[in-house]
């Protein structure tokens, strides 16, 4: 089959108007012929018939370069499904509980006066069943549980009917069960239903005949949002939003229209569209996204808008890096990536100019680009897509504080210029490291860091929360985490080490740090403490391992620099070993370490 066929199949996949048959053919064809697809498996469990959902899950996975194998569970057997899926080692579990089918015609029975006691008993039984199933689902890295929604419209516009009241109780119950079962997350089915519309979402015919309630538009949207909710099955993790200024943050060109002339009034069109977009960007910043400017303007003009325009929601303190110059945007984006120590593939760039966007796409294709639509009223929808890329996969509290920390780093960079030597400078930072062993309270952040860190990562092993918990609980493994603080503030939990004791050797299974704290010696400072723990366990040697990835050149010689002797070298992998005694003395003496041991 030719590349042409593949291109047209890809186009059909992306076409919202493609028919069921076209989607089916394209998916089957591309799964067979596309190169370089990532293989992921998903287990699907429901109390209604959702087999057809598999096709739409696969469709949206393929659009992100993933060949998704969907394993469909038995009818209404979530506990048994989970057991099967865990054994099969699925990567994702999607549970779709269907409210109206919890009991036959449940909504109608509720309306008909079904006894409160029966409803309550059903709720309790369900809660217990889900609690057990989700507890057993711990080994599955990603677990999504669909929230209940109604299937039939209320006939009472004047007040909520009994179905709404019961539905709300069941939703709260399910939300509580899911909240207890970290790392499971609730999947927003009612939100999808609102978007698709109840009458388009439910196929009354197949629901009645075969308990298959979801119509194609609904299945498609579930497929699309499952991909979003899993960050396209783990294929991306965006961190930075780089923004153009003229006709992106405000209407008009500040160099020509002057500060007073740009359109940014919250009360008038078109200013209100830009003003709303800026509020949304601030919301992203609050959730941990790093905002930067990448714009061709006179710096003084933009700085004036930032400091002086009365309606400007975004101010300089919200922007971690401002590239305001006449250089190529691709050059500026590269510089942003370097300064923030992030990959180009974690940057999203928004501009109104096709010319600029094409330039960026050809020069730095790893950057994801969005265009402000020429039909300006469609701008909020584009902003919505951008938000989904950053937020749909979930936000941890630590991530939200991250932007603050990048700004601290930028302030520290400025201070650096004043010192004569690098050591003077680092000493002046008053660095402190808090080292913790098996800190269960930090499991979410530890797992997140192992998922996200690419450059300073010795083995690039990714751990789910469940895996971290298991390592912490294990007799022969320890999970170290470190929190770095300097006089500008705390950088939060920014380093993770996992070690395994085996006879007289302590083996470093993983060691990784967030790039925002490296270059200050922190990475070398903690080893005496790890060595002491290992000695207490009867070990006499430490073994380190460097596993090469596409991105971790930075740490290629880390163990050499730590003073370990090379042991074995093979394709893409090197091991090192050293007697524990050589690690006793703390390197990076300027760092104060707190460790309860």
> Taking the complex as a whole, how short is the minimal distance between the CB of residue 27 and another protein, in angstroms?
11
HEC readout, 329-351 = HHHHHHHHHHHHCCCHHHEEEEE
- Cβ distance to another protein smaller for residue 71 or 154: 71
- Cβ distance to another protein smaller for residue 136 or 215: 215
Omega before residue 270 within 30° of 0, cis: yes
- Cβ distance to another protein smaller for residue 22 or 41: 22
> Taking the complex as a whole, how short is the minimal distance between the CB of residue 52 and another protein, in angstroms?
7
- Cβ distance to another protein smaller for residue 118 or 210: 210
Q: Is 564 helix (H, G, I), strand (E, B) or coil?
A: coil
Long-range contacts of residues 76-84, Cβ cutoff 8 Å, at least 24 apart: 76/46, 76/47, 77/45, 78/45, 78/47, 78/129, 78/130, 78/133, 79/129, 79/132, 79/133, 79/136, 81/43, 81/45, 81/133, 82/43, 82/45, 82/133, 82/134, 82/136, 82/137, 82/140, 83/136, 84/43
> Taking the complex as a whole, how short is the minimal distance between the CB of residue 227 and another protein, in angstroms?
22
- Cβ distance to another protein smaller for residue 214 or 576: 214
Residues that bind another protein (CB under 8 A): 19-21, 24-25, 28, 49, 51-52, 205-206, 209-210, 212, 216
- Cβ distance to another protein smaller for residue 216 or 253: 216
> Taking the complex as a whole, how short is the minimal distance between the CB of residue 214 and another protein, in angstroms?
12
> Taking the complex as a whole, how short is the minimal distance between the CB of residue 355 and another protein, in angstroms?
40
> Taking the complex as a whole, how short is the minimal distance between the CB of residue 19 and another protein, in angstroms?
4
C-alpha torsion 175→177→178→182, nearest 10: 140
- Cβ distance to another protein smaller for residue 209 or 474: 209
Q: Is 222 helix (H, G, I), strand (E, B) or coil?
A: helix
Instruction: State phi, psi for 103 to the nearest 5 degrees.
Output: -135, 160
> Taking the complex as a whole, how short is the minimal distance between the CB of residue 283 and another protein, in angstroms?
39
CA distance 189 to 222: 8
> Taking the complex as a whole, how short is the minimal distance between the CB of residue 351 and another protein, in angstroms?
38
State the DSSP code for 551.
S
- Cβ distance to another protein smaller for residue 16 or 113: 16
Long-range contacts of residues 169-172, Cβ cutoff 8 Å, at least 24 apart: 169/123, 170/99, 170/102, 170/123, 170/126, 171/147
CA distance 227 to 233: 6
């Amino acid at each position: 089959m030719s590349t042409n066929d593949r291109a047209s199949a890809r186009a059909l996949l992306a076409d919202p108007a493609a028919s069921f048959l076209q989607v089916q053919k394209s998916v089957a064809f591309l799964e067979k012929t596309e190169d370089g697809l990532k293989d992921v498996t998903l287990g699907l469990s429901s109390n209604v018939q959702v087999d057809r959902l598999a096709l739409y899950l696969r469709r949206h996975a393929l659009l992100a370069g993933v060949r998704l194998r969907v394993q469909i569970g038995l009818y209404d057997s979530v506990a048994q499904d989970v057991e099967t899926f865990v054994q099969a080692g699925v990567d994702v579990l999607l549970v779709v509980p269907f409210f109206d089918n919890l009991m036959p015609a449940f909504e109608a029975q509720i309306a008909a006066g079904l006894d409160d006691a029966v409803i309550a008993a059903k709720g309790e039984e369900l809660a217990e069943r889900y609690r057990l199933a989700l507890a057993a689902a711990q080994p599955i890295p990603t677990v999504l549980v669909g929230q209940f929604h109604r299937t039939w419209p209320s006939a009472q516009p004047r007040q909520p009917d009994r179905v709404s009241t019961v539905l709300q109780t069941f939703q709260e119950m399910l939300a509580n069960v899911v909240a207890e079962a970290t790392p499971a997350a609730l999947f927003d089915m009612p939100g999808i239903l609102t978007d698709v519309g109840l009458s388009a979402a439910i196929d009354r015919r197949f629901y009645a005949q075969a308990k298959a309630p979801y119509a194609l538009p609904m299945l498609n949207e579930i497929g699309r949002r499952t991909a979003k909710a899993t960050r396209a099955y783990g294929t991306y993790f965006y961190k930075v939003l780089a923004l153009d200024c003229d006709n992106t943050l405000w209407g008009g060109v500040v160099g020509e229209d002057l500060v007073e002339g740009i359109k940014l009034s919250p009360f008038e069109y078109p200013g209100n569209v830009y003003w709303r977009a800026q509020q949304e960007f601030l919301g992203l910043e609050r959730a941990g996204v790093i905002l930067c400017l990448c714009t061709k303007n006179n710096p003084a003009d933009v700085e004036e808008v930032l400091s002086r325009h009365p309606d400007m929601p975004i101010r300089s303190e919200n922007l971690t890096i401002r590239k305001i110059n006449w250089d190529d945007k691709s050059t500026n984006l590269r510089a942003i990536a370097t300064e923030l120590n992030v990959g180009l593939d974690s940057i999203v760039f928004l501009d109104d100019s096709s010319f600029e966007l094409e330039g960026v796409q050809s020069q730095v294709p790893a950057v994801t680009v969005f265009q402000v639509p020429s039909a300006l009223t469609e701008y909020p929808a584009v902003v919505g897509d951008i938000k989904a890329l950053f937020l749909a996969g979930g936000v941890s509290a630590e991530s939200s504080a991250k932007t603050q920390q990048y700004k601290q780093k930028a302030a520290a960079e400025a201070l650096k210029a004043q010192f004569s030597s690098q050591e003077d400078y680092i000493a002046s930072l008053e660095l402190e490291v808090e080292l913790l062993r098996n800190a269960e309270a930090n499991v979410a952040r530890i797992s997140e860091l192992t998922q996200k860190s690419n450059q300073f990562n010795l083995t690039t092993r990714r751990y789910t929360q469940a895996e971290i918990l298991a390592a912490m609980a294990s007799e022969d493994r320890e999970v170290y985490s470190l929190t770095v603080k300097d006089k500008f503030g705390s950088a939060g939990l920014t380093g993770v080490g996992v070690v395994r004791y085996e006879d007289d050797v302590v083996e470093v299974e993983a060691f990784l740090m967030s790039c925002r704290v490296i270059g200050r010696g922190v990475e070398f400072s903690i080893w005496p403490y790890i060595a002491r723990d290992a000695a207490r366990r009867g070990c006499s040697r430490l073994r380190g391992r460097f596993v090469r990835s596409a991105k971790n050149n930075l740490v290629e010689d880390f163990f050499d620099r730590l003073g370990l002797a090379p042991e074995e070298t093979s394709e893409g992998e090197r091991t090192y070993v050293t007697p524990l005694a050589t690690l006793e003395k703390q390197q990076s003496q300027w760092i104060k370490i707190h460790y309860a041991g």
